[in-house]
Chain A
């Protein structure tokens, strides 16, 4: 069995990034993700990587653009307001078909909001976020273990599809300590292949250009259609989710990340009381696990969507189920975190209580 360590969620991300062979970090301080750059500033030095504290999140995402265009695994982390600033860069990176990893430790918004855990950047993360037609592969971990494991998965998906990848987490997961199994062999960055688009100098080959523009009539449209095919492929093949106690469920809760942790406790209580309640936890929020929800919609009576926002993922649940079912919502915006009893009350209200 692999070594187990008690780790903060934010440190688990950093170690996961290093285990994925990434040796480039650029970022700007913002709560509640400061543990990541602080930790990286020490660890990158130890492993011979680059750590840059930037003048802004705008500079950070553009440094990633450069490093990744040069063929290296590159990541940044930030929190909601900082991620908003990065959207210009993410759009360009998506438009140039370059893989990078962006971690959003989401906090309450809009505006400066607060530093409490939130899921109010769901739309931004799953609808592209910046200008133009694009999507980012977005993973939503719910434990320190997943925070450690998902950076590698995110890089692999990002590189496979030449697309930016996001990890959507929050301060609760980031500041929480949990045992983490340092599973899997760490990737030696020297063994990673030089990608075919990488800018390395044109010795013994044709020169390469990385860009997101094409002014020739019809070319950009064709390029976008090509990207649409990629997105369709991702939607078909990369949906990930975890279903708990859904086999016979009359009510399925849909929740990700911190909300899924809270809801799993409420589901356990409900089951103990004999209520047929299950939970579907999206692990990829883009692509959204719509296929499994479509399958559920034929037999599940009610859905309860629980989010730490005013109701964003609920749209995807409605789309996945053709709005056929009773879809209920429980949301806590502005940094509010639901509690298991609160969710259990909601379950009772929907199901009519114990049989």
Chain B
């Protein structure tokens, strides 16, 4: 019998610990496939964040490192400058990248470090149990904003692509989602760009991916997908925020 679907060689053969309906698994699979399709698995070094995807160091079938919370872009810089022939990707959540690691991501982008950043935005702290994230929407409930995020006291969500697009440095910035088959295909294309840019020595690429967290949103997986479509995308519009490749043409 011919096998037509299976685990890509870019992922290890272990059980992933993500909740049902979580978006991490989809993004992991896309990256795992790209490591093979782009023939970079054997020269890739991945950075796992702190948060739900801390275990990414067990899931990606390539060399991995697990640094302090938010410091992925700095660790990536150290690796890439030391081994420029390696492909370096930093996988980060919204707490990791847009709260504690804000300085590191801004400056890595500003330096146009030749790295690939995958930023999972699910508007919540997942691993620690559903606290307010820097990307939690106004009025959205979390365990530290039980009445809903009050922008007067808790400020507004940070729009990472828009923020980084204010810098001259970054080469490629795109926001996508993984809540529908169509958006997953778009995410695959964006991630392919983000890795190809690095292979071609172009510079800093970041893909922000709106992703479901049914457990901490208190929704079913189906409701979560719908919520991204109807609510989250309105606040975080999808699309390219920087594409120097197109500008160069």
Residues on A facing B (Cβ under 8 Å): 24, 26, 50, 52, 54-56, 58-60, 62-72, 74, 88-89, 92, 96, 199-204, 207-213
Interface 9-residue window, one of B19-27, B74-82, B184-192 = B74-82
Residues of the B chain whose Cβ atoms lie less than 8 Å from the Cβ of A70: 45, 78-79, 82-83, 86
Chain B nearest CB from A224 CB (Å) reads 17
Interchain CA distance A53-B75 in the complex, whole Å: 14
Q: Which residue of A lies closest to B80 (CB)?
A: A66
Q: Say whether A211 contacts B81, CB under 8 Å.
A: no
Q: Say whether A74 contacts B78, CB under 8 Å.
A: yes
Interchain CA distance A84-B166 in the complex, whole Å: 31
With contacts A62-B68, A202-B61 known, what are 7 further pairs, Cβ within 8 A? Answer: A24-B78, A55-B103, A55-B104, A63-B74, A66-B79, A67-B82, A210-B66
Residues of the B chain whose Cβ atoms lie less than 8 Å from the Cβ of A67: 78-79, 81-82
Q: Say whether A92 contacts B82, CB under 8 Å.
A: no
Residues of the B chain whose Cβ atoms lie less than 8 Å from the Cβ of A72: 82
Interchain CA distance A202-B57 in the complex, whole Å: 14
Task: State whether the Cβ of B183 lies closer than 8 Å to any Cβ in chain A.
Answer: no
Q: Say whether B104 contacts A59, CB under 8 Å.
A: yes
Q: Say whether A52 contacts B81, CB under 8 Å.
A: yes
Residues of the B chain whose Cβ atoms lie less than 8 Å from the Cβ of A65: 65, 67, 71, 74-75, 78
Q: A64 with B57: in contact, given A59-B107, A202-B41, A203-B42 (CB under 8 Å)?
A: no
Q: Say whether A62 contacts B66, CB under 8 Å.
A: no
Interchain CA distance A62-B96 in the complex, whole Å: 14
B45, B74, B78 — most chain A CB neighbours (10 Å): B78
Q: Say whether A200 contacts B107, CB under 8 Å.
A: no
Residues of the B chain whose Cβ atoms lie less than 8 Å from the Cβ of A199: 45, 63-65, 79, 83, 86
Task: State whether the Cβ of B54 lies closer than 8 Å to any Cβ in chain A.
Answer: yes
Q: Say whether B66 contacts A211, CB under 8 Å.
A: yes
Q: A64 with B78: in contact, given A92-B67, A210-B64 (CB under 8 Å)?
A: yes
Interchain CA distance A64-B65 in the complex, whole Å: 13
26 A-B pairs, CB-CB below 8 angstroms?
A55-B107, A59-B71, A62-B71, A62-B78, A65-B74, A66-B75, A66-B80, A67-B81, A69-B65, A69-B75, A69-B79, A70-B78, A70-B82, A72-B82, A74-B82, A88-B68, A92-B68, A200-B63, A200-B86, A201-B83, A201-B85, A202-B42, A203-B42, A207-B12, A209-B57, A210-B64
A64, A201, A211 — most chain B CB neighbours (10 Å): A201
Interchain CA distance A204-B43 in the complex, whole Å: 11
Residues of the A chain whose Cβ atoms lie less than 8 Å from the Cβ of B44: 201
B48, B67, B76, B77 — most chain A CB neighbours (10 Å): B67
Residues of the B chain whose Cβ atoms lie less than 8 Å from the Cβ of A69: 65, 75, 78-79
Interchain CA distance A204-B42 in the complex, whole Å: 8
Residues of the A chain whose Cβ atoms lie less than 8 Å from the Cβ of B86: 70, 199-201
Interchain CA distance A211-B103 in the complex, whole Å: 22
Residues of the B chain whose Cβ atoms lie less than 8 Å from the Cβ of A202: 41-42, 61-63
Q: A52 with B68: in contact, given A24-B82, A201-B63, A213-B54 (CB under 8 Å)?
A: no
Query: Which of under 10, 10 to 19, 20 to 34, or 35 or more describes the interface residues of B?
Result: 35 or more
Count of A-B contacts with CB under 8 A? 133
Q: Say whether B66 contacts A63, CB under 8 Å.
A: no
Q: Say whether A209 contacts B64, CB under 8 Å.
A: yes
Residues of the B chain whose Cβ atoms lie less than 8 Å from the Cβ of A89: 68, 71
Q: Say whether B107 contacts A210, CB under 8 Å.
A: no
Residues of the B chain whose Cβ atoms lie less than 8 Å from the Cβ of A204: 42
Interchain CA distance A318-B83 in the complex, whole Å: 47
Q: Contact string, B17-44, partner A, CB cutoff 8 A, digits 1/0?
A: 0000000000000000000000001111
Q: For chain B residues 77-112, which have a beta carbon within 8 Å of chain A?
A: 77-83, 85-87, 103-104, 106-107
Residues of the A chain whose Cβ atoms lie less than 8 Å from the Cβ of B79: 66-67, 69-70, 199
Interchain CA distance A141-B71 in the complex, whole Å: 32
Interchain CA distance A67-B43 in the complex, whole Å: 16
Interchain CA distance A62-B107 in the complex, whole Å: 13
Q: Which residue of A lies closest to B61 (CB)?
A: A207
Chain A nearest CB from B15 CB (Å) reads 14
B44, B76, B77 — most chain A CB neighbours (10 Å): B77
Chain B nearest CB from A195 CB (Å) reads 12
Q: Which of A59, A71, A208 contacts B103 (CB 8 A)?
A: A59
Interchain CA distance A209-B59 in the complex, whole Å: 11
Q: Which of B41, B63, B66 contacts A213 (CB 8 A)?
A: B66
Chain B nearest CB from A167 CB (Å) reads 20
Residues of the B chain whose Cβ atoms lie less than 8 Å from the Cβ of A74: 78, 82
Residues of the B chain whose Cβ atoms lie less than 8 Å from the Cβ of A56: 103
Chain B nearest CB from A85 CB (Å) reads 11
Q: Which residue of A lies closest to B77 (CB)?
A: A63
Q: A62 with B64: in contact, given A69-B79, A201-B45 (CB under 8 Å)?
A: no
Q: Say whether A58 contacts B66, CB under 8 Å.
A: no
B44, B75, B76, B82 — most chain A CB neighbours (10 Å): B82
Chain B nearest CB from A53 CB (Å) reads 10
Interchain CA distance A54-B77 in the complex, whole Å: 10
Residues of the A chain whose Cβ atoms lie less than 8 Å from the Cβ of B104: 55, 58-59, 62
